[in-house]
Amino acid sequence: MNLFPKCRFELHFDQGGLVPDEQNDAELRLFLPEPIDFVRNVFLELRSAVEITHVAEYGRSGASREEERLFAYDFTPRLRSERLSSGSHVFPFSFRAPELPPNVSSELVETRTVARMWLSVAGAFDPSATSLVPIALPPRRETAVPIASDR
């Protein structure tokens, strides 16, 4: 058994990214160059949070940070056995995301949606990956606005 199993993780959304306030269909894809024995679970965590930096008032030193979680989603697919063969493994899932802001980073505010994926392997280090999740804008809904006419 390999103490450091290798695995490449990919997260694919049907609409190119996470679409706020809509049903999202996605796939967690694993690519294994060699089989891994004693796999307990596959995990996916999606987290969206905003971090705000409060700057001290004039004459005071320091700053404080405050983080507020906006969204959390966990996915743990069922495995058929404790052994994952080499090659690709695809785990489809669906969820509804709330309204979320896009990923933004500045000196005082940072908004991000992150995916953390990992395999829980008995007796070995757990391979893992973390990546920023793209936020796709929902399709624009046209709204008709009446225009006043002098005629």
pLDDT band at 146 (very low <50, low <70, confident <90, very high): low
pLDDT for position 65:
81
Q: Please check whether residue 1 lies inside any domain of the structure.
A: no
Q: Please check whether residue 12 lies inside any domain of the structure.
A: yes
End-to-end CA distance of the chain: 83
Residue type, 111: T
Residue 76: give the domain boundaries.
Answer: 8-132
Q: Please check whether residue 127 lies inside any domain of the structure.
A: yes
Please state the separation of Cα 83 from the chain's center in Å.
26
Question: Full-prediction pTM beyond 0.85?
Answer: no
In the predicted model, is pLDDT for residue 145 greater than 70?
no
| CATH code of the domain covering residue 40 | 2.60.40.640
